[in-house]
Amino acid sequence: MNNIYLYIYKFNTIKDFKIESFFSDYRLDKINNHKDESYIYKMIEIENILYKVLNKHENISKLEFLVGKFGKINLLNSDINFNISHSKEYLIIGVSNSNLGVDIEYIDEKRFKIKEKITDQKISDINELIKLYTIKESFIKYYGLSILYNLKNIKVNNDQIISKDYDNLHYTSNKFGNYYYTVCAKNEFNLSLIEINSMIFLLK
């Protein structure tokens, strides 16, 4: 059975990260083509944490990515697969030896408006809705699909995500504080959850 490592990181309120030599062209383009300072710093923070996480699994001197048609990124010249997602205060990074998809979403009653986009089911519980949304979004991210893909075409049962257009995927979905996260992959997997304390983690 495949192992998936899911790193959960809380964004730092102290802006102590900077652009480094290992930054990918992909991330530098995002930084250089944006004017919002908070967005720019978040990109800097994400790239630093991603680099540190991936180096736990393989010695990498510089992040070099292959970018898919709809923005999914993969490491060049590596057997490592990863996927990232962030929402509000948290970033998650999934790492595995095979393809995977991850998504994290903040639980907010205001987001009930997304129900019409993702399902025709009668759902009145915001927790249930956000959980379902993360499951479907993880599927989208696994396959690197367009954000315009109809989420209603994706069905979910107790342990699989199903679509007539693509192979079924196994998933694990859990609540984490005021968030839900989902991890999905082609085959069943063991999930190891690692919470990152930024300063301790970065010094190791």
pLDDT along the chain (204 residues), means of 10: 94 86 96 93 96 95 92 92 97 97 96 92 94 97 94 94 96 97 97 81 59
- For the chain, domain boundaries: 2-203
Q: How many CA atoms lie within 13 A of 54 on its CB side?
A: 25
* Domain covering 2-203 in this structure, CATH number: 3.90.470.20
pLDDT at 199: 56
Q: How many CA atoms lie within 13 A of 148 on its CB side?
A: 1
